[in-house]
């Protein structure tokens, strides 16, 4: 249900307010250009600075506009278990296909605390949950053993792995088997990630290169030598773009790239700021190299 190229959707703003009209256009842009799934209200969607109402609204718009054409896994995580439960049950109520739940940042829970956090959310909802493990932002790292415990629960189905450690794919596959969904959160390691047993990505780059990312994902899990060769070619094309998206804090670079492509404005909310001129040049060069502009 959830594989291939899934976009970590940006949230466009106009005069610091949610730009609903542009957001709807972005959703249809992805439907028309091969994206395999939508992930609203994640870190790339600036969830830390969305109000509770805005957070719920972007998920509602995504579900409504996709109208079953693409699966929607809503970002519903929080470092407050009660808030995560509230956001996840709301996503379920309005028809999201699942939830992407980040490990609780800042609190620094133990492995047992992580288990109990996800178990509490699991026990209050009835939709699939993907664990989002991103130690670089949340400071904590969920162990494979804790993930295996959670996989025994009814709603936990997989992980968005943003550890950058490709050995985790092997360890997770060995522990949980191939039915446990493994998606990378690092665009730059997607080829090797899939080669080791992953089945896709939750992608920042897909915001601006949906067709390239979708084709790459499709070919990277193929058994055809020719298609694997094409996946390698596309990976080489995309690598400079992937790199340029993280020269500064996400999503400032991808929003600037989206502006260059006429998709949305590049405004972000404080404490994020727009990218520096030197970064703009790196992004422009990368987009030119991939023939996106």
Active site residues: 132, 160
Q: Work out the burial of residue 148: count CB atoms within 10 Å of its CB; fewer than 13 is exposed, 13-18 middle, 19 or more buried.
A: middle
DSSP for residue 98? E
Apex CA 218: angle with CA 292 and CA 197, to 5°?
A: 125
DSSP for residue 234? H
Please count the other Cβ atoms lying within 10 Å of the Cβ belonging to residue 116: 13
Which pair of structure tokens corresponds to residue 126?
């009835």
Interatomic CA distance for residues 106 and 59, integer angstroms: 24
Interatomic CA distance for residues 233 and 61, integer angstroms: 35
Quickly list H helices, the chain: 20-32, 52-66, 81-93, 111-124, 135-138, 144-151, 167-176, 190-195, 210-220, 225-244, 252-260, 277-289
SS3 of residue 260 by DSSP: helix
**% helix / strand / coil in the chain, to the nearest 5?**
50, 15, 35
Give the residue among 171, 211, 215 at the shortest CA–CA distance from 191: 215
Decide: 59 and 88 in contact? Cβ < 8 Å. Answer: no
């Amino acid at each position: 249900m959830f594989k291939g190229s899934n976009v970590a959707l940006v949230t466009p703003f106009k005069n610091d307010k949610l730009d609903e009209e542009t957001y709807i256009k972005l959703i249809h842009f992805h439907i028309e250009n091969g994206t395999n799934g939508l992930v609203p209200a994640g870190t790339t969607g600036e969830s830390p600075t969305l109000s509770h109402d805005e957070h719920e609204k972007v998920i509602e718009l995504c579900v409504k506009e996709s109208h079953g054409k693409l699966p929607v896994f809503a970002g519903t995580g929080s470092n407050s278990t009660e808030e995560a439960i509230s956001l996840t049950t709301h996503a379920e109520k309005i028809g999201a296909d699942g939830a992407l739940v980040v490990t609780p940042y800042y609190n620094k829970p133990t492995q047992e605390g992580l288990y109990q956090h996800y178990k509490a959310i699991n026990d209050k909802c009835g939709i699939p949950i993907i664990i989002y493990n991103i130690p670089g932002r949340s400071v904590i790292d969920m162990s494979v053993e804790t993930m295996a415990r959670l996989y025994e629960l009814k709603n936990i189905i997989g992980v968005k792995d943003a550890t950058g450690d490709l050995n985790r794919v092997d360890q997770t596959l060995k522990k949980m088997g191939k039915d446990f969904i493994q998606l990378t959160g690092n665009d730059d390691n997607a080829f090797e990630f899939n080669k080791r047993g992953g089945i896709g990505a939750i992608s920042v780059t897909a915001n601006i290169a949906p067709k390239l990312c979708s084709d790459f994902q499709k070919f990277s899990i193929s058994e055809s030598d020719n298609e694997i060769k094409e996946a390698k070619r596309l990976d080489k094309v995309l690598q400079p773009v992937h790199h340029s998206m993280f020269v500064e804090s996400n999503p400032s670079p991808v929003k600037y790239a989206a502006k260059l492509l006429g998709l949305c404005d590049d405004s972000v909310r404080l404490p994020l700021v727009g990218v520096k001129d030197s970064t703009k040049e790196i992004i422009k060069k990368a987009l030119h190299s991939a023939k996106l502009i």
